[in-house]
Structure 1
Amino acid sequence: MGRPKKDDKVHIVRTEHVLFFTRLFEGLNIDLLPLLRETRVPNTLIDQPEYLYLPESTLKNLLQKLGQSVSISEYGLRVWEMCSVKYVPSYLEKLEDGVSLKVCLTEFGELLKRESSNTKVYVKQAGGSWWLVREKSGVEEVWFKYAEMFSVLFMVQLLKQLTHGQYQPTEIGVQSNVIDDFLKLPELHKVRFYSERPVTALKIDDELIEQLVTIGKKSSEPNEFMPTILSFTQSLKLALSPYFTAGKLPLDMASDITNIHSRTIQRRLREEGTNYKEFSEEILFALIKSALTRSHNVSKIAQQFGYSDCAHFTRAFKRYEGVTPSQYRASIDAK
């Protein structure tokens, strides 16, 4: 992918959202595994992974790749269809029924913050009108235009479904400096766009904002929200753990995946009393111990985590844990 400006924070999203974005490529002549490698998504994503979170950068990379692989019109159609049929309905099931549109959208913004650590969506009154607002940094980066197009289409579809088709987009402010591509998106060719705005914002008619929302079907499954991130180390661990399932992850690769400079990673970890070597070993051996609880096949586990032979694996495990993998496994059996 391109080389965007380095960040200094770890932003994470739920894995289910990354899975959704990969489905936007269905039907295209693009092999999945090379696509995942190019967009810095772990290959294990296709095997019903157990990890709940991934770096937000994976979503940005996927949208940029899709936008550069198809025409703007096809990009818009793919996003519009997936949002209308699957993505928006998955959120509607989690929202409260029988409240005003304003309250419902506020609830949606709170829900979104719990599923993506770098997302801010809210309702605001400005210039005598109501707006659904989305804040996002990175407007100068390549992925941003495609991400903003996605957000506009998603928010339009969200408003249409919450109002049962009564909402029709008329005025939209975008952060991007060129609006021609936005006019090629589904149902937006007659919209009045304002470019180079500080935020992305969709105008909502006054008569809709206090209208009661009827959602209907509700999900019976409890919402699982992102944990409160207390430190850089904790958020970095959530973001990078999926990449250790195949073995060690060098610092330069961690930097590339998270879009955080390697020196920044080391500095932030040092400020919290650790370093990348200790941090990465803690993740790696925690995953190895988890694998040992499920299997007696030490050789297979050694191979899975990238060790050249069982002897090398045994020495590394004993250095870290104080016992051999076989002894660790035996202690589990004895319990």
Structure 2
Amino acid sequence: MPNKTVVPLFKSEYTVVLVELLKQLDKDIYPIIDQAKLPENILQQDHDYVPEASVINLLDILMDKVGPEKYSQFIAAAAENIYIPRYLARMTDVSTLEGALKQFIELVHIESTHTHLQLKLLQNKMWFVRQRRAHAGQARSVLAEQFALTFMLTLMRTLLGKSWQPIDVSLCENQAQTIQNALGLNASQFYTARAVTAISFDPSMLATKVHVRQNGQVIIEEVRAPEDFVESLINALTPYFMLGRLPIAQAAVIVDMSVRTLQRRLTKAGVSYSQVVDRIIFLQAKKQLAEAKYSVTDISANFGYADVAHFSRAFKRYVGMSPRAYQQQLANP
């Protein structure tokens, strides 16, 4: 089930795909990145995750630029050409539809704590079901649901052929006409205002042999999504610390919470926001110290310290040794 206690995250590598889509429409992408509240260095992919709230902002911008039908077509193209091949590259067996879907579900659950997928037999139909926590605001829910359903349909069509259509489509929101027109689902029965997003098909199809070319040369690092609030918050905020510290008010905006809610959740977890900030800074400082291109002076300035001595004292309190001693230890393990 979706984990409601964590900050919803979205993989950075998948976010870059959406940014590249928007670059097709507007070459000056950085004002859009700023408008979406994404980290300025998103295209560098120096981090595993970004806050999902910023990705929804990006989808909103895409929808505004192209309209609902073209939006689904853009997402379908990205899923078919980029997202789904990356999932398939991580699968060990895609010989049957059932095997492929089960492995896909497992991979999604590894890298996401806020979306739950399952195969469910109900009334002699097999349902491919997506359940997740609700978004604040109907417009954001519509965007996320249309993205998810388009992805699910494109996966099925990759495995079964582009002409495949589900028997039924279940939607949480009332957007049946848009989906039908954008994805050519006029033969499917639509149900709206449901508890889950889902598509149905004949259970016998699970045994269908599927033949998908897999790129054995693709190596994708397995990253497991954080399972507690503090770790998810650290993952969400880390990309934004590359240009210095974040005040809690700005952090709250990034993770789509009020300052009061953020403070309450941190208190419940037994940590303060300043402790979270220190952890982010020194984890990143350790990472940068391991790279020869950064000096201690550079790193000190990157994280807003007035001088190297102040940074060195703080680093030693947190890590147990000075920055230069830490670098020497890395050089001579």
The reply to whether TM is greater than 0.5 is yes
How many Å separate the matches in 2 of 1:123 and 1:98? Answer: 16
3-state SS in 2 of match to 1:31: coil
Corresponding position of 2:261: 264
How many Å separate the matches in 2 of 1:219 and 1:111? Answer: 17
The 3 A distance-change label for structure 1 pair 158 and 11 is same
How many Å separate the matches in 1 of 2:100 and 2:206? Answer: 10
How many Å separate the matches in 1 of 2:300 and 2:174? Answer: 51
How many Å separate the matches in 1 of 2:265 and 2:132? Answer: 23
* Structure 2 residue runs without a partner (length 5+): none
- Contact 2:121/2:203 (<8 A) preserved: no
- Contact 2:124/2:202 (<8 A) preserved: no
Tell me by how many angstroms 1:223 deviates.
5.1
Tell me by how many angstroms 1:235 deviates.
2.0
Aligned residue among 56, 62, 78 for 1:60:
56
3-state SS in 2 of match to 1:43: coil
How many Å separate the matches in 1 of 2:198 and 2:211? Answer: 24
The one-letter code sitting in structure 1 at the alignment partner of 2:323 is: Y
User: Mapping of 1:72-83 within 5 angstroms?
Assistant: 72-83=68-79
How many Å separate the matches in 1 of 2:252 and 2:224? Answer: 23
How many Å separate the matches in 2 of 1:134 and 1:330? Answer: 49
Corresponding position of 1:41: 38
Q: 1:49-87: CA deviations, max 9, x gaps?
A: 2x1122222322221221122212221221122222222
3-state SS in 2 of match to 1:69: helix
- Contact 2:113/2:225 (<8 A) preserved: no
How many Å separate the matches in 1 of 2:262 and 2:216? Answer: 39
Corresponding position of 1:328: 323
How many Å separate the matches in 2 of 1:298 and 1:291? Answer: 9
- Contact 1:99/1:213 (<8 A) preserved: yes
3-state SS in 2 of match to 1:254: helix
- Contact 1:171/1:193 (<8 A) preserved: yes
The 3 A distance-change label for structure 1 pair 44 and 167 is same
Aligned residue among 303, 306, 311 for 1:305:
303
User: Mapping of 1:1-335 within 5 angstroms?
Assistant: 8-29=5-26, 31-49=28-46, 51-97=47-93, 99-138=95-134, 140-165=137-162, 167-221=164-218, 224-227=221-224, 229-294=226-291, 297-307=295-305, 311=307, 314-319=309-314, 321=316, 328-329=323-324, 332-333=327-328
3-state SS in 2 of match to 1:180: helix
The one-letter code sitting in structure 2 at the alignment partner of 1:144 is: S
Higher deviation after alignment, 125-134 or 158-167 = 158-167
Q: 1:73-104: CA deviations, max 9, x gaps?
A: 22122112222222222222223435432232
How many Å separate the matches in 1 of 2:42 and 2:57? Answer: 15
The 3 A distance-change label for structure 1 pair 229 and 151 is closer
Q: 1:183-208: CA deviations, max 9, x gaps?
A: 33132344332111111111113442
| Count of matched residue positions in the alignment of Structure 1 and Structure 2 | 323
Q: So what's the TM-score if we normalise by structure 1?
A: 0.85
> What's the % identity of the aligned pairs?
27
Tell me by how many angstroms 1:246 deviates.
1.1
* Structure 1 residue runs without a partner (length 5+): 1-6
How many Å separate the matches in 2 of 1:27 and 1:53? Answer: 23
The 3 A distance-change label for structure 1 pair 285 and 85 is closer
- Contact 1:54/1:242 (<8 A) preserved: yes
The one-letter code sitting in structure 1 at the alignment partner of 2:184 is: E
Q: 1:82-137: CA deviations, max 9, x gaps?
A: 22222222222223435432232122111111122212111111122111111123
How many Å separate the matches in 1 of 2:104 and 2:291? Answer: 39
- Contact 1:172/1:201 (<8 A) preserved: yes
Q: 1:242-300: CA deviations, max 9, x gaps?
A: 11111111111111111233233323333333211122122113323443454564544
- Contact 1:130/1:204 (<8 A) preserved: yes
- Contact 2:111/2:224 (<8 A) preserved: no
Corresponding position of 1:4: none
3-state SS in 2 of match to 1:219: coil
